[in-house]
């Protein structure tokens, strides 16, 4: 059967279209001859994920991202993934966008879960976004940025406060205080120089003084050694004997023993002494009032004068 030119042209066109589809799919990383599975994930932001980005499971590439488009008028985005590997995972697995460092772009990773029923082609997985290097750096730098800003604000407030405090009059007062401090330091320096001169002039006297103090210390040491050699126990015993004797004398006086004890305890002796004392006082008064009764010198033989009786108050 002879094919006409029109049939040949149609067949060439069909082959060209098939080759074009296979070539385009191959360039996108899809092989139409394999039993591929398509999965979907919904995100609010895909963080720069692009079509043909690799899809991995535990770090192994198992497919590519085939399509990214808006899902609804709220701005949510649906990502289509083509998985060429027959590795099984459940519907609870997550589709996580990760990467985004300074060199490479974003990638898609399927975090497998094995507890629920196995996922089938056309299922929608839970979307998740992992923090990339830039996000981590921003998160780490943000607290530091806030601290720096607070420090700059505090420094600005401090400088403003210092400027407010250091008004012209205050600056003049500070200058005066510094000048007074310099004068005080100069006075201290002069006093130190004078003290140094006094010490140099009296160094000999100071040496003698310290020598005398050293000798005095030696004498005190000798005196303490002498005291340490004294028989303290014997002295204490003698003092105890003396105290015992005094105690015996005191007991004798209290008991009326001896002359002193009788004087202290015997009322008769006291009365006799009192009476004798009064009589002696009367005798002395009588001698004073009537001296001629006791001493008489008469050349012409005159009689003694009139007798004067002592006062009754002395009886």
Whole-number Å distance between alpha carbons of 88 and 68: 24
> Residue 89 phi/psi, 5° resolution?
-150, 165
What's the count of helices (H) and strands (E) in the chain, helices before strands? 7, 7
Give the C-alpha distances (Å, rounded to integers) separating 84 from 48, 58, 178, 306.
23, 15, 85, 175
Bridge partners, 43 (sequence order): 77
Instruction: Give residue limits of the domains in the chain.
Output: 34-130
Q: Which of 82, 62, 67 is nearest to 122 (CA)?
A: 82
Q: For position 314, what pLDDT does the model report?
A: 45
Whole-number Å distance between alpha carbons of 108 and 101: 14
Taking each helix axis as running N to C, give the angle between helix 203-229 and helix 168-201, from 0 to 180 degrees, rounded to the nearest 10.
70
Q: For position 221, what pLDDT does the model report?
A: 81
Give the C-alpha distances (Å, rounded to integers) separating 196 from 43, 201, 212, 225.
88, 9, 23, 40
Q: Cα–Cα–Cα angle for 201, 203, 204, nearest 5°? A: 105
Q: Which of 11, 296, 240, 237 is nearest to 248 (CA)?
A: 240
Whole-number Å distance between alpha carbons of 311 and 279: 13
Per-residue pLDDT of the chain (315 residues; tens, 9 = 90+): 566 777 778 888 888 898 887 777 666 555 555 568 999 999 999 988 999 999 999 989 999 999 999 998 999 999 999 998 889 999 999 999 988 655 557 899 999 999 889 999 999 999 998 876 555 556 677 787 788 888 888 887 877 777 766 667 777 778 888 888 888 888 888 888 888 888 888 888 888 888 888 888 888 888 777 766 666 677 777 778 888 877 877 777 677 676 666 666 667 777 777 788 888 888 888 887 877 776 655 555 555 555 556 665 444
- Our CA dihedral for 263, 266, 269, 272, rounded to 10 degrees, sits at 130
Q: For position 240, what pLDDT does the model report?
A: 83
Whole-number Å distance between alpha carbons of 251 and 268: 21
Q: Is the distance from CB of 49 to CB of 109 less than 8 angstroms?
A: no
Whole-number Å distance between alpha carbons of 89 and 226: 106
Q: For position 315, what pLDDT does the model report?
A: 47
The first and second tokens of residue 161, run together, are 């406060």
């Amino acid at each position: 059967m002879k094919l006409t030119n029109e049939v040949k042209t149609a067949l060439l066109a069909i082959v060209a279209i098939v080759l074009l589809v296979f070539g385009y799919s191959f360039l996108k990383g899809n092989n139409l001859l394999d039993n591929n599975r398509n999965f979907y994930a919904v995100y609010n932001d895909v963080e720069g994920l692009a079509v043909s980005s690799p899809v991995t499971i535990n770090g192994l590439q198992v497919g590519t991202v085939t399509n990214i488009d808006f899902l609804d008028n709220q701005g949510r985005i649906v990502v289509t993934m083509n998985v060429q590997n027959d590795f099984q995972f459940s519907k609870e697995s997550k589709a996580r966008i990760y990467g985004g460092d300074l060199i490479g772009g974003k990638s898609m990773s399927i975090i497998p879960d094995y507890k629920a029923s196995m996922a089938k082609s056309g299922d929608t997985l839970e979307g998740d976004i992992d923090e990339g290097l830039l996000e981590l750096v921003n998160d780490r730098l943000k607290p530091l940025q806030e601290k720096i800003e607070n420090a700059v604000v505090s420094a600005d407030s401090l400088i403003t406060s210092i400027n407010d405090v250091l008004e012209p009059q205050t600056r003049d007062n500070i200058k005066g205080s510094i000048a007074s401090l310099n004068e005080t330091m100069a006075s201290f320096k002069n006093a130190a120089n004078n003290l140094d001169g006094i010490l140099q002039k009296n160094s000999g006297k100071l040496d003698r003084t310290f020598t005398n103090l050293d000798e005095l210390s030696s004498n005190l040491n000798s005196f303490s050694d002498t005291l340490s050699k004294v028989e303290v126990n014997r002295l204490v015993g003698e003092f105890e004997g003396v105290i015992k004797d005094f105690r015996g004398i005191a007991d004798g006086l209290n008991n009326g023993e001896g002359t002193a004890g009788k004087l202290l305890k015997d009322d008769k002796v006291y009365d006799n002494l009192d009476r004798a004392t009064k009589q002696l006082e009367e005798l002395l008064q009588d001698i004073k009032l009537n001296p001629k009764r006791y001493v008489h010198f008469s050349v012409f033989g005159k009689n003694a004068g009139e007798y004067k009786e002592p006062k009754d108050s002395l009886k």
